[in-house]
Copies of this chain bind each other. A is one copy, B any other.
Amino acid sequence: MKKTYSEENYLKAIYHLGKTDNKVSPKAIADALENNPASVIDMLKKLQDKDLITYDKVQGAILSPAGEASALDIIRKHRLWEVFLVEKLQYGWDEVHDIAEQLEHIHDEQLAKKLDDFLGNPSVDPHGDPIPAQNGKMPVYANKRLSEAEENQLCKVGSVRDTSTPFLKYLKQLKVGLGSKIKVIEKMEFDQSMIISIDDGEPKTVSSKMTDNILVILD
C-alpha cells in the first residue's frame, strides 16, 4: 500500500517523537512538522483508518507494526541518501538534511538496496545515526548521552541527536566530529554544564543542551 509524501512525513515524525517522548501528542507533532494541531488531528484519523497508527487522547499516537516498518524504511532511505550526498557529492554534513528530506520519498523496490550496496553498506549516516537494516530493524549503536557520562570518563563521539545547521556549525567550531575522543573533566552540578577535553585539547566548557545532543560510546 503506497503512502503519500505527507503520510510518510507524519510516520517519520511520530517515530522520532516516540523515541524521546513517552506520549506523542498532536501538539508535539504539529511542532515537529511546523503545521498546526488541527491539521495533525485530521491526518491522525487517516493514518488510523489505514492501520498505520493507533491514536487516542490518553495514549497519544502509537505506530502499528506496519506504521513502524514504513517509518524505518523512510529513515533508512533518508540516511542512505545523506551518506551519498556527503561521501559522493562532497556536501558538508550540515547541508544534506533538507535534500535527504526530499530524496527519502523516492519510491522504487530496488533503490534502497542498490544504493546501500553502492555506498558499501554503511552502518551510520554522516551524523552517526544508525541506518536501519532492510529487514526494518534499527540497530543500536551509540545510545549514551555525553551529559550522562561521569567525571573522568573517556568516550568517543558516536552520533548527534540534533542535525540542525546551528548545532553542527557549533560542533565544527569546537572541532568535534564523529569519532572524536572526549574526556569529561568536570561536571557542574549547578547547571549541568561540563568541562571537557576534545582529542586531548584544551579544556572547554559546554552547556547541557550541547552534551544532551551528543551520543557517545564509553571507553
Contact = CB atoms under 8 A, between A and B. Distances in A.
Contacts of A111: 89, 99
A175 interface: no
Contacts of A107: 102
A214 B103 CA distance: 33
A88 B105 CA distance: 20
Copies in the complex: 2
A114 B86 CA distance: 11
A108 B98 contact: yes
Interface residues of A, number: 17
A190 interface: no
Interface string A89-106: 111000000110011011
B102 A106 contact: yes
Nearest to A105: B102
A88 B118 CA distance: 7
Contacts of A106: 99, 102-103
Contacts of A90: 114, 118
Interface string A50-75: 00000000000000000000000000
A9 to B, nearest CB: 15
A142 interface: no
A49 to B, nearest CB: 25
A106 to B, nearest CB: 5
A92 B102 CA distance: 24
16 contacts: A88-B118, A89-B111, A89-B114, A89-B115, A89-B118, A90-B114, A90-B118, A91-B110, A91-B114, A99-B106, A99-B108, A99-B111, A102-B105, A102-B106, A102-B107, A103-B106
- Among all A-B residue pairs, the 3 with the closest Cβ atoms: A89-B114, A102-B106, A99-B108
